[in-house]
């Protein structure tokens, strides 16, 4: 691009058509010598720099700025090909988070930089809405005594034939209690993480005293 910038300025001065590819010149015959001499013949700086003036007060800037002409091809981008919006749609089978990608009917990615921007603005509720309510919010059972969300299981009471069957209750598989089972809203991917840690014998205990 630097070669093209000098070639464009020299070509507009002398009416030449130049080849700005880097393979035309070499260490012995550098592009800066060829185009620098053409610029000097036109009254410009040898290295393609120019003195600029401030558009605010007209003062001459003390820095020399590399300046020239570069041609760009206009890209064809249409709004109808770019827009992406969804309320609900497909989710990932493993994490239960929205799929990524416009073709898959997914959502727009909310990444680390977006998260940091909301944190810096103090927009905690908007952050909660995007990363929790609008993502993989799930309700799970937790044992408030042992602090585990993996131990509560459904206890199906045994009843003799012909008798009324009781409503199944939740029971903690670790401490064996039924009166300490409660509901907790968490991101599903957090539950998935605890399951992965449990598979390698790492137990996570959640403190629910302040929830």
Q: What is the mean pLDDT of the chain?
A: 87
CB 154 within 8 A of CB 166: no
| Residue 141: strand, helix, or coil | strand
Task: Specify if 209 maps to a domain.
Answer: no
The packing angle between helices 2-14 and 31-41, to 10°, is 30
CB 96 within 8 A of CB 136: yes
User: Is there a single domain that holds both residue 58 and residue 6?
Assistant: yes
Residue 23 is predicted with a pLDDT of: 82
Residue 31, both tokens: 């592009």
User: Is there a single domain that holds both residue 91 and residue 110?
Assistant: yes
Distance, in Å, from the CA atom of 106 to the CA atom of 89, rounded to the nearest integer, reads: 7
Q: Which residues of 71-98 are buried (b: 16+ CB within 10 A; e: fewer)?
A: eeeeeeeeeeeeeeeeeeeebeeeebbb
For 13-20, what is the mean pLDDT? 87
Residue 211 is predicted with a pLDDT of: 61
Final residue in a domain of this structure, among 78, 102, 133: 133
For 22-46, what is the mean pLDDT? 89
* pLDDT band at residue 66 under the 50/70/90 scheme: very high
* pLDDT band at residue 14 under the 50/70/90 scheme: very high
Half-sphere exposure of 94 (CA within 13 A, CB side): 3
Residue 178 is predicted with a pLDDT of: 84
pLDDT digits (tens, 9 = 90+) for 70-107: 888 888 888 888 888 888 889 999 999 988 888 888 88
Q: Is the pLDDT of residue 25 over 90?
A: no
Domain residue limits at 176: 137-198
Final residue in a domain of this structure, among 133, 161, 188: 133
Distance, in Å, from the CA atom of 205 to the CA atom of 176, rounded to the nearest integer, reads: 16
Final residue in a domain of this structure, among 78, 109, 133: 133
pLDDT digits (tens, 9 = 90+) for 132-178: 998 999 999 999 888 899 988 887 666 667 666 667 788 888 888 88
Task: Specify if 210 maps to a domain.
Answer: no
Outline where the chain has alpha helix (H).
Answer: 2-14, 31-41, 79-82, 112-120, 124-128, 188-198
CATH of the domain at 185: 3.90.1800.10
| Residue 98: strand, helix, or coil | strand
For 27-35, what is the mean pLDDT? 89
Residue 142 is predicted with a pLDDT of: 92
Q: Which helix (H) or strand (E) holds 102?
A: none
User: Is there a single domain that holds both residue 121 and residue 146?
Assistant: no
Residue 69 is predicted with a pLDDT of: 85
Q: What is the dihedral of CA 37, 41, 47, 51, to 10 degrees?
A: 180
pLDDT digits (tens, 9 = 90+) for 166-211: 677 888 888 888 888 899 999 999 999 999 999 999 999 998 886 6
Number of domains in the chain: 3
Task: Specify if 78 maps to a domain.
Answer: no
């Amino acid at each position: 691009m630097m070669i093209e910038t000098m070639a464009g300025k020299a070509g507009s001065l002398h009416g030449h058509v130049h080849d700005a590819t880097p393979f035309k010149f070499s260490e012995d015959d550098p592009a800066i010598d060829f185009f620098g001499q053409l610029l000097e013949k036109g009254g410009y700086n040898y290295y393609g720099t120019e003195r600029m003036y401030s558009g605010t007060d007209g003062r001459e800037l003390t820095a020399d700025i590399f300046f020239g002409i570069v041609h760009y091809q206009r890209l064809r981008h249409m709004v109808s090909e770019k827009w992406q919006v969804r309320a609900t749609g497909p989710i990932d089978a493993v994490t239960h988070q929205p799929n990524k990608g416009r073709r898959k009917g997914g959502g727009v990615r909310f990444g680390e930089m977006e998260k940091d921007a909301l944190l810096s603005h103090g927009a905690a509720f908007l952050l909660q809405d995007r990363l929790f309510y609008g993502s993989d919010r799930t309700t799970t059972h937790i044992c408030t005594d042992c602090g585990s969300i993996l131990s509560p299981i459904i206890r199906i009471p045994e009843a003799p034939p012909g008798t009324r069957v009781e409503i199944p209750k939740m029971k903690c598989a670790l401490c064996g209690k039924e009166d300490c089972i409660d509901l907790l809203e968490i991101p599903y991917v957090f539950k998935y993480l605890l399951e992965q840690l449990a598979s390698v014998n790492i137990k996570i205990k959640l403190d629910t005293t302040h929830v």
